[in-house]
A and B are shown apart, each in its own frame.
Chain A
Amino acid sequence: MTIQEAKEFFATSDFSEETKKKIAAVFEGKRALDEKVLTAVKALMQEELNKDFAESGVTLTEAQENEAAGIYAKELEKVDTELAEDTKFVETELKALDDVRKKMMTVSDAIDADAIRASI
């Protein structure tokens, strides 16, 4: 999504004018919608939502919060495990390749030495 499309999206949104101004300030001077901009915008939106929920007297129970946190933590663990496996795979394969490369260099050096001896 371009930054212009994002600006148009927020112009017609239900968020308060105050939040819209803050979001517009975040967009100010930016040529592209990068991760930093998105994070800042989402934080402002969530801030208003939290405020609205608080004014409505709606809160989550501790059990609900724990459940959501548990699911989130489990999903993060899966992501980390998968990344660790991938990292290990890449490291193992790179080491094997490096071993082959070293052997190859030894052979290459031997050929060069042989060529030098033959030229003498």
Chain B
Amino acid sequence: MKNNEMPSFGLKVDPNAPKTTTGPRLDQNAPAMEKQEVAASTPEATKETAAESKKTFDVDATEGQIVKKTSVFKKLFQTMATGLSRSLNRKVEAVKAVGSKIGEVNEKVASSLYTAADPKAKGIENMSVPEVTGNLGKAAGNAVVEGTSSVARGVEKSFNPEGKDLMEMGLGEMGQNFFNTIDDKVSDLGESLENGFKKLMKWAEKKIEEQNKIMNARLIMEQQAAEAAREKRKENLDKVKKAIGAQWNSLVEYGKNSIAKASTERKYHKSLYNQTLNNWKLDGMKIELAKMEKAIREQGDKTAAGEADIEHYKEKLASMENKTKQMNTVEMTFTPTQEASQEAAA
């Protein structure tokens, strides 16, 4: 079955079937009394006959029997219609339920069902159950009257399935035969409809399954896309995390270097301070030596003792200068070795 193609309901109408009547066949060549009966079988005549059934019953036994039977037939038809209507009433609920279900999948299919129930497009929600029942009944009735020869024949023979003489049959027998036939036909019709609904349900379930497959495939694709997007974002976050880590380490290293630099500079300035003091003291010694030499020269006391004092002081000064230079060398050039730094760090 192709998509959106509505399946057969199981009702087949034969357009070539012969036209049938729904009532007993009457002999057109019968005497006037029988012609009168033909006229009485029309709707208007039937009403009048039914109203006067009591009155005509006693006038002529034969005619009265026929009139009485005709009246009964009318009642039987009404009963049949009511029975059919009640039976169809249950089916309408099924039609509504199935139509509603199918409507989720395929509005086109649903509309064809709704068209039968609501030919004037009033809106099935706004319609009464009897109205919907009536519409469906008409649709089903039309199928029976216009096309279904088997049903029509069944109705025609319903009163007399065994081909007995009608005039010899009792009303009870005819009524019983009629009800049996109607029950069968209604049952057949119901079964036919039920089979149609089953096919529809199967078709709808298949459609739903296909839709579900499509939905599931779409869902999987969406999930995969979302997963890929998440992975990408995580990847980007990892990059940022690494960049933050690198920047963090760089800053920490910068901080450590600043502290080490400050420590080195403090030592350097301490060394400069010590050197300055030592150099100034050396300068003081040099000034002292110059004063000493000047005093001796001015006094003209170039004695051996005086020269010896000056020489001793000069030697002392030279030694002090060397020590100071060595001290400065240590201050400025002696730094901890790499091995020592590693040991300290350990």
B285 partner, pick from A31, A56, A64, A80, beta carbons under 8 A: A56
Q: Which of B83-91, B139-147, B166-174, B316-324 contacts A (4 or more CB under 8 A)?
A: B316-324
Residues of chain B contacted by A25 (CB below 8 angstroms): none
B285's closest neighbor in chain A, by CB? A58
The number of inter-chain residue pairs (CB within 8 angstroms) is 158
Is the pair B323, A94 in contact by a Cβ cutoff of 8 Å?
A: no
Residues of chain B contacted by A2 (CB below 8 angstroms): 337
Is the pair B343, A87 in contact by a Cβ cutoff of 8 Å?
A: no
A107 partner, pick from B233, B284, B322, B343, beta carbons under 8 A: B233
Is the pair A79, B330 in contact by a Cβ cutoff of 8 Å?
A: no
Interface size on A, residues (CB 8 A): 55
SS of B interface (majority):
helix
Give Cα A1–Cα B338 distance, bound, in whole angstroms.
9
Residues of chain A contacted by B223 (CB below 8 angstroms): 118
Is the pair A86, B344 in contact by a Cβ cutoff of 8 Å?
A: no
B255's closest neighbor in chain A, by CB? A90
B278 partner, pick from A32, A49, A65, A83, beta carbons under 8 A: A49
B337 partner, pick from A1, A65, A71, A111, beta carbons under 8 A: A1
Give Cα A17–Cα B226 distance, bound, in whole angstroms.
83
B295 contacts chain A at the CB level, 8 A cutoff: no
Residues of chain A contacted by B270 (CB below 8 angstroms): 72
B327's closest neighbor in chain A, by CB? A45
Is the pair A49, B327 in contact by a Cβ cutoff of 8 Å?
A: yes
Give Cα A38–Cα B284 distance, bound, in whole angstroms.
28
B234's closest neighbor in chain A, by CB? A111
Task: Looking at the assembled complex, report how far the CB atom of A47 sits from the nearest CB atom of chain B, in whole angstroms.
Answer: 11
> A27-70 interface mask toward B, CB cutoff 8 Å, 1 = contact, 0 = none?
00001111101100110011011001100111110001100110
Is the pair A79, B266 in contact by a Cβ cutoff of 8 Å?
A: yes
Task: Looking at the assembled complex, report how far the CB atom of B288 sits from the nearest CB atom of chain A, in whole angstroms.
Answer: 7
Is the pair B258, A34 in contact by a Cβ cutoff of 8 Å?
A: no
Interface residue ranges of A69-100 to B (CB < 8 Å): 69, 71-72, 75-76, 79-80, 82-83, 86-87, 90, 93-94, 97, 100
Is the pair B227, A13 in contact by a Cβ cutoff of 8 Å?
A: no
Residues of chain B contacted by A1 (CB below 8 angstroms): 333-335, 337
Give Cα A101–Cα B246 distance, bound, in whole angstroms.
12
A35 partner, pick from B258, B273, B336, beta carbons under 8 A: B336
B251 contacts chain A at the CB level, 8 A cutoff: yes
Is the pair B251, A94 in contact by a Cβ cutoff of 8 Å?
A: yes
B340 contacts chain A at the CB level, 8 A cutoff: yes
Task: Looking at the assembled complex, report how far the CB atom of A28 sits from the nearest CB atom of chain B, in whole angstroms.
Answer: 16
Is the pair B288, A57 in contact by a Cβ cutoff of 8 Å?
A: yes
Is the pair B336, A34 in contact by a Cβ cutoff of 8 Å?
A: yes
Given known contacts A34-B343, A56-B285, A111-B234, A14 and B280 CB-to-CB distance under 8 angstroms: no
B20 contacts chain A at the CB level, 8 A cutoff: no
B221 contacts chain A at the CB level, 8 A cutoff: no
Is the pair B254, A75 in contact by a Cβ cutoff of 8 Å?
A: no
B251 partner, pick from A38, A93, A114, beta carbons under 8 A: A93
Give Cα A90–Cα B316 distance, bound, in whole angstroms.
52
Is the pair A87, B326 in contact by a Cβ cutoff of 8 Å?
A: no
Interface residues of A (CB under 8 A from B): 1-3, 6, 9, 13-15, 31-35, 37-38, 41-42, 45-46, 48-49, 52-53, 56-60, 64-65, 68-69, 71-72, 75-76, 79-80, 82-83, 86-87, 90, 93-94, 97, 100-101, 104, 107-108, 111, 114-115, 118
The 6 A-B pairs of least Cβ separation, nearest first, read A32-B340, A86-B258, A34-B340, A83-B262, A72-B273, A90-B255
Ordered by A's residue number, 9 sampled pairs between the chains whose C-beta atoms are within 8 Å are: A6-B334, A14-B319, A32-B339, A53-B320, A68-B273, A71-B276, A90-B251, A90-B258, A108-B234
